[in-house]
Each structure stands twice: as structure tokens, then as C-alpha cells.
């Protein structure tokens, strides 16, 4: 696998209050695990961005990964109406200053509706600036139907949004997401829990390798599983290289802040 | 990077010559809530070859729904692959007459090594009276029982597992998914009862769990499985071989424990 550089799109650090069997509190521990399994870079968010508030967590994330060249930061968003985060242009300027190039939305934890009514022109800006927006599997609730309905609705309202569904669960959810891959060229999947035997090969042959991003959902999940799965998937070396890291690198390069 | 020769070999070739895998928790066929690209026998065999899996033990998806049709189907498929593919007979407590007839009919079937219970799916507790005939049958023949287990379940949590393990010491219980979500209690059960093993399907994905199991229960009490044709064995293998454990523990989990459990129970 020489020459393939892995860039994990979905890892977090911090001390979540519950729900994670063995958390990863620090960037140092994250980097050690990346070294262990052979992963070069990671797009990171912080547990406080989700479990507490982006007002606190976004800043903590920046501090925790400062100076770590292999780690790229991401921030969480909140509805503009409550004015808790910098508004409009200021938000994107702050992202640029902090070296942050991707966003997360946690509508369940932060109790809002992720839709056009709430986010209006802000998400138009996110789409235009090609900033990837990540949402977790529970974005619409614990029932997968609710999350896929949310994704379906959000993409109908913002068809140009670069949207990544993270860690969608070990049950193959192809019957939900394949129509979305067909319709929306800026919709992406993090493959961290896409464990379906033969699944990756089929998705690559149907939709191309561009739509898939390597991820681990660490530390909730072990890094070794997706790392071995992608290393051995029955796809071309070109597709493997794209999924492993080049797709995410391309997405982050396209971001205009 | 990881210094294990086993991990390196899997990463580089997809297989490990010195450690072919024994998969104790597999299925077969399509299933209601999931699309599976590779569910035919030929496709499953190709996956086993690709991943260096020497042998699997399956319960059919059809059998989980319809024991009469499904168990017969599963056994007839395994017969075609002697030494490579073995079967669990699914016992559904809602169909005691059919179950009894099948236990008698397939008693000496060459590829049968045990029974499969799925108390959650069948919405009936593992400790319930209706499982008794099957458990007595398994005890008399010292069979393996792979039972689905899950945390916080009214049907198959760690307490249910402990009760049947205590009552039937002759049966070797594999705790499918290791009571996912109530791992600590499941580990206590596996430590207390010599006839209870932790099975890794889905549980392997939880970071740090395999290390904890090895430390508190011991690598000798853990067996490998990945619900094939659901999950790519390489995902599960990656979780085991890249866990922070010794190569000795990796071998025990991937192969040796299962071989020991199957010893004397295989007729072909
Ligand atoms: Zn299963």
C-alpha cells in the first residue's frame, strides 16, 4: 500500500461525559493511535463542541490541536438567530484565522431544526464557499429514518451543499442513501461504519470513488477496523487512494474562506 | 506503526498463513432490514478466501424467520462444503413442536455443531421455559449454543446468560455480541462461568473493549465472529489485529479458542 496516505475525516478528542467506552482526551493520544494503525492526518472535532456548546468547544478544539500539523480543525454551528457565534462574514473570517476548514452540525444535542427556515442564507454561504458540513448519524434522532429524512430535506433545500453523513451505522443503509448519492453530487459518506461485505466495491462501481471519505469515528470506534477494511477492499488502487485521503484533501482545498 | 507480524501480514495480503481464521458467528442469505451484496454461498466462500477464513459456523437468515424451511436450507448448504462450513440449528421457542422434530431429525447431522438462539428477535427470554427442551438437548450432547446477547435487554442480557450458564454447565455458551452495551457485566459472567465465551460480532468495533476483555477475562475466553454476510471480515480482523494486545492473544481470539471449542463436535 506504499504511497497511500490516510486522512481520517471523523475523529474527536476530549472527555465526553458518557457514551464512549474509552475516550481519547488529548491530541497526543490521538496522534499515537494514528501512528499505530498508519494514518497520516485527521479532521478533528472536540467532545465539548457536541456535548457542551460550540461557544466553548470550538475554541477548545483550536487550542488543543494548535501546532499539530497532521490535525485539521472543524467547528460546530448554531442557528444564527441566537447570535452565540460570530455572525455572517465574521464567522468565515474567524474560521480562516483559526485554520478551521470544515463544519459540524449536532441538531439533536443543540436542539434546533437543521433546515432552511433556521439557517437561511448562512448555509447558502457555506455551500458557495464549499465548506464541508458533517452531520452525525443521530442528527434527526435515534431512528435512522428520521436522519435520512433530514438529509433528504436538507439537500432538497440546499442542493449544492457539501454534506457528509458521518458514521451512519454498521447496518448497511444503502436503501436510504443510494437515492441521495444519485441525486446530489455534493453528498458524501464517511465510510467509518460502512462495514457491509462487498459494499465499498459496489458503491465505487456505481457512483465512483469520489463520494466516499475514509473515517474511523474514533474514539467511539476502533481505528483498526476501517483501516484494514479499506486497505483490503476490492477496488482499484486509484479508488483506494482517493477514498483514503485524496477526496478529503480535495474538498478541504476547495474551501474558500 | 504496529509491530505485529500477524497484523502486517493481514494488511499486506489480506490473509495470514500462520493464523487462518475460525468464524463462530455467521449467517447466510438475504435479510429484511439490510441490503447485502454478497449473500450467496459462492459469494460468501469468495469472501472467506479473500480474508483467510478457514471455517465458519452459520445460522440461516431464513431459519431465524422460519425454522422449518430455513434450518433445512442451511444444513443442505453446509453439506456442500464439508470441513469448511458448519451450521447452528435455529431454535425458535414459539415453535416447540417443529423445534423438537428438528432436534430429533438433525441430531446426528454431519455439519451441525450447535444451536442458535435469538431471544431478542423472537421476543422471548433466554431463561424462559420454552427454551428448556433445546437446552436439555444441547446439554445431553455437550453442544455449542450461540445466543444473541445485548445489554439492557428483557430477553438476553448478562443476567439471563448467567442463569442458563449456571443451569447447564455441559453447554458451551457463546455470548453473541458480548451483551453489547453491558460489556462489563458480560465480562463478569464470562469470568465466572467456564462454559461462557465472549463473541465479538459488532463488539469488536468498540475502541478499547478487546483490550479490556483480554485483561479482565483472558484471551482464552474470546471468539471471533462478524455476522457474515453482513460485515466485511477485514473490518473485524482489523479491530482484533490492531488492538493493543499480544500476538498470542490475537491467535487465541482469531483461531485457537474456536478450534478448541469445536474439538470433538465436528463430524466432518
Ligand atoms: Zn448474528
Domains of chain A: 7-254 (3.20.20.140)
- List pLDDT tens digits, range B4-61: 999 999 999 999 999 999 999 999 999 999 999 999 999 999 999 999 999 999 999 9
User: Cα(first)–Cα(last) distance of chain B, in Å?
Assistant: 41
Rounded to an integer, the average pLDDT of A74-81 is: 98
**Count of the separate structural domains present in chain B:** 1
Q: What is the dihedral of CA A150, A151, A156, A159, to 10 degrees?
A: 150
Sequence-distant (≥ 6) Cβ neighbours of residue A213 within 8 angstroms: A9, A10, A164, A188, A189, A190, A191, A243, A247, A248, A251
Residue A2 confidence (pLDDT): 57
In the predicted model, is pLDDT for residue A79 greater than 50? yes
Q: Among positive and negative, which fits the CA dihedral B67, B70, B76, B80? A: negative
In A, minimum Cα distance to B44 occurs at: A197
Q: Is residue B235 part of a domain?
A: yes
Residues paired with residue B114 on neighbouring β-strands, in sequence order: B88, B144
Q: Is residue B268 part of a domain?
A: no
Q: Is residue B252 part of a domain?
A: yes
- The Cα–Cα gap between B37 and A204 comes to 13
Residue A172 confidence (pLDDT): 75
Is it true that the peptide bond before B229 is cis, omega within 30 degrees of 0? yes
- For residue A1, name the pLDDT band (cuts at 50, 70, 90): very low
- Residue pair A182/A208 in contact by the 8 Å Cβ criterion: no
Q: How many angstroms separate the CA of residue A189 from the nearest CA in chain B?
A: 17
Cβ contact A226–B238 (<8 Å): yes
Please give the full DSSP string across chain B, using - where no structure is assigned.
----HHHHHHHHHSS-TT--EEEEEE--S-BTTB--TT-SHHHHHHHHHHHTEEEEEE--HHHHH-HHHHHHHHHHHHHTSTTTEEEEEE--TT-HHHHHHHHHHTTT-TTEEEEEE-HHHHT--TTSGGGHHHHHHHHHHT-EEEEEEETT-SSSSHHHHHHHHHH-TTSEEEEEEEEET-HHHHHHHHHH-TTEEEE-TTGGGBTTHHHHHHHHT-GGGEE---TBTTB-HHHHHHHHHTSSS-HHHHHIIIIIHHHHHHTTT---
Residue B133 confidence (pLDDT): 98
- The Cα-based distances of A60 to A8, A182, A257, B231 in angstroms read 20, 38, 21, 36
In chain B, what residues touch A19 (CB-CB under 8 Å)? none
* Predicted TM-score of the model (pTM): 0.97
Average pLDDT, chain A: 96
Q: How many angstroms separate the CA of residue A241 from the nearest CA in chain B?
A: 15
Residue B111 confidence (pLDDT): 97
In chain B, what residues touch A221 (CB-CB under 8 Å)? 205-207
Cβ contact A37–B2 (<8 Å): yes
Sequence-distant (≥ 6) Cβ neighbours of residue B263 within 8 angstroms: none
Give mean pLDDT in consecutive 10-residue pieces for chain B, a chain of 268 residues.
96 98 98 95 98 98 98 98 97 98 96 98 98 98 98 98 98 98 98 98 98 98 98 98 98 98 92
Q: Which residue has the cell 424462559?
A: B128
Q: Is residue B141 part of a domain?
A: yes
- The Cα–Cα gap between A58 and A68 comes to 16
Q: Is residue B162 part of a domain?
A: yes
Q: How many angstroms separate the CA of residue B70 from the nearest CA in chain A?
A: 22
Q: Is residue B53 part of a domain?
A: yes
ipTM score for this prediction: 0.97
Which residue among A1, A37, A170 sits closest to B205, beta carbon to beta carbon? A170
Which residue among B228, B229, B239 sits closest to A222, beta carbon to beta carbon? B239
- The Cα–Cα gap between A54 and B133 comes to 57
Residue B70 confidence (pLDDT): 98
Q: Among positive and negative, which fits the CA dihedral A235, A236, A238, A241? A: positive
Give me ligand 1 centre to Cα B149, in Å: 10
Q: Is residue B73 part of a domain?
A: yes
Give me ligand 1 centre to Cα B129, in Å: 23
- Chain A interface residues (partner B, CB cutoff 8 A): 1, 20-22, 35-38, 170-172, 174-175, 193, 195-202, 218-229, 231-234
Residue B121 confidence (pLDDT): 98
Q: What's the per-residue H, E or C state across B160-178?
A: HHHHHHHHCCCCEEEEEEE
Range of the domain at B236: 5-11+19-262
**Surface of B (44-73) touching A: CB under 8 A:** 47, 50-51
Q: How many angstroms separate the CA of residue A215 from the nearest CA in chain B?
A: 13
Which residue among B207, B231, B244 sits closest to A197, beta carbon to beta carbon? B231
- The Cα–Cα gap between B20 and B230 comes to 20
In chain B, what residues touch A174 (CB-CB under 8 Å)? 35
Q: How many angstroms separate the CA of residue B85 from the nearest CA in chain A?
A: 18
CA A181 to chain centre: 16
Cβ contact B14–A225 (<8 Å): no
In the predicted model, is pLDDT for residue A184 greater than 90? yes
3-state secondary structure of A102: strand
Sequence-distant (≥ 6) Cβ neighbours of residue A125 within 8 angstroms: A88, A92
In the predicted model, is pLDDT for residue A4 greater than 60? yes
* Percent of chain A whose pLDDT exceeds 90: 95
Q: Does B213 touch chain A (CB under 8 A)?
A: no
Question: Which of B86, B197, B77, B92 lies closest to B146 in space, CA to CA?
Answer: B197
Domain containing residue B195: CATH number: 3.20.20.140
Q: Tell me how many degrees the CA angle A136-B33-B36 measures, rounded to the nearest 5.
A: 90
- List pLDDT tens digits, range A164-182: 999 888 877 999 999 999 9
In chain B, what residues touch A35 (CB-CB under 8 Å)? 1
Q: Please return the burial class of A21, using the count of CB atoms within 10 Å of its CB with bins 0-12, 13-18 and 19+.
A: middle
Q: Is residue B267 part of a domain?
A: no
- The Cα–Cα gap between A196 and A172 comes to 6
- Residue pair A46/A38 in contact by the 8 Å Cβ criterion: no
Amino acid at each position: 500500500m506504499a504511497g497511500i496516505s490516510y486522512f481520517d475525516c471523523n475523529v474527536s478528542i476530549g472527555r465526553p461525559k458518557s457514551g464512549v467506552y474509552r475516550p481519547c482526551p488529548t491530541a497526543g493520544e490521538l496522534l499515537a493511535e494514528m501512528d499505530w494503525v498508519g494514518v497520516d492526518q485527521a479532521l478533528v472535532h472536540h467532545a465539548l463542541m457536541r456535548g457542551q456548546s460550540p461557544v466553548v468547544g470550538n475554541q477548545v478544539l483550536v487550542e488543543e490541536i494548535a501546532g499539530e500539523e497532521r490535525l485539521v480543525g472543524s467547528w460546530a454551528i448554531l442557528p444564527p438567530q441566537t447570535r452565540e457565534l460570530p455572525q455572517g462574514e465574521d464567522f468565515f473570517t474567524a474560521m480562516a484565522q483559526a485554520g478551521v476548514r470544515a463544519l459540524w452540525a449536532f441538531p439533536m444535542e443543540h436542539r434546533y431544526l437543521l433546515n432552511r427556515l433556521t439557517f437561511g442564507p448562512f448555509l447558502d454561504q457555506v455551500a458557495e464557499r464549499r465548506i464541508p458540513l458533517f452531520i452525525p448519524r443521530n442528527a434527526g434522532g435515534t431512528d435512522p429514518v428520521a436522519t435520512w429524512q433530514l438529509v433528504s430535506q436538507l439537500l432538497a433545500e440546499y442542493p449544492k451543499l457539501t454534506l457528509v453523513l458521518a458514521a451512519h451505522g454498521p447496518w448497511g443503509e444503502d436503501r436510504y442513501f443510494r437515492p441521495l448519492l444519485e441525486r446530489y453530487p455534493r453528498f458524501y459518506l464517511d465510510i467509518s461504519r460502512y462495514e457491509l461485505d462487498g459494499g465499498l466495491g459496489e458503491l465505487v462501481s456505481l457512483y465512483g470513488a469520489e463520494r466516499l471519505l475514509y473515517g474511523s469515528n474514533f474514539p467511539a470506534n476502533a481505528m483498526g477496523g476501517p483501516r484494514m477494511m479499506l486497505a483490503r477492499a476490492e477496488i482499484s488502487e486509484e479508488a483506494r487512494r482517493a477514498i483514503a485521503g485524496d477526496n478529503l484533501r480535495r474538498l478541504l482545498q476547495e474551501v474558500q474562506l | 506503526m504496529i509491530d505485529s507480524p500477524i497484523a502486517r501480514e493481514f494488511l499486506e495480503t489480506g490473509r495470514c498463513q500462520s493464523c487462518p481464521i475460525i468464524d463462530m458467528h455467521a449467517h447466510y442469505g438475504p435479510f429484511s432490514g439490510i441490503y447485502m451484496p454478497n449473500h450467496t454461498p459462492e459469494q460468501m466462500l469468495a469472501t472467506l478466501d479473500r480474508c483467510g477464513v478457514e471455517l465458519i459456523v452459520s445460522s440461516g437468515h431464513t431459519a431465524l424467520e422460519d425454522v422449518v424451511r430455513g434450518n433445512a436450507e442451511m444444513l443442505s448448504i453446509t453439506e456442500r462444503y464439508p470441513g469448511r462450513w458448519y451450521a447452528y440449528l435455529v431454535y425458535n421457542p414459539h415453535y416447540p413442536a417443529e423445534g423438537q422434530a428438528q432436534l430429533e431429525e438433525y441430531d446426528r447431522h454431519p455439519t451441525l455443531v450447535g444451536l442458535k438462539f435469538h431471544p431478542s428477535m423472537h421476543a422471548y427470554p433466554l431463561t424462559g421455559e420454552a427454551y428448556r427442551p433445546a437446552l436439555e438437548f444441547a446439554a445431553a450432547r455437550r453442544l455449542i449454543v450461540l445466543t444473541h446477547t445485548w445489554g439492557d435487554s428483557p430477553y438476553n442480557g448478562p443476567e439471563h446468560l448467567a442463569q442458563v450458564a449456571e443451569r447447564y454447565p455441559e453447554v458451551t455458551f457463546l455470548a453473541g455480541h458480548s451483551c453489547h452495551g453491558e460489556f462489563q457485566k458480560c465480562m463478569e459472567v464470562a469470568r465466572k462461568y467456564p462454559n461462557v465465551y465472549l463473541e465479538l460480532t459488532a463488539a469488536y468495533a468498540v475502541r478499547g473493549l478487546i483490550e479490556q476483555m483480554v485483561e479482565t477475562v483472558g484471551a482464552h475466553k474470546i471468539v471471533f465472529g462478524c455476522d457474515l454476510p453482513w460485515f466485511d471480515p477485514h473490518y473485524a480482523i482489523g479491530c482484533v489485529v490492531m488492538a493493543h494486545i499480544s500476538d498470542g492473544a490475537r491467535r487465541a481470539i482469531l483461531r485457537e479458542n474456536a478450534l478448541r471449542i469445536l474439538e470433538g463436535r465436528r463430524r466432518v
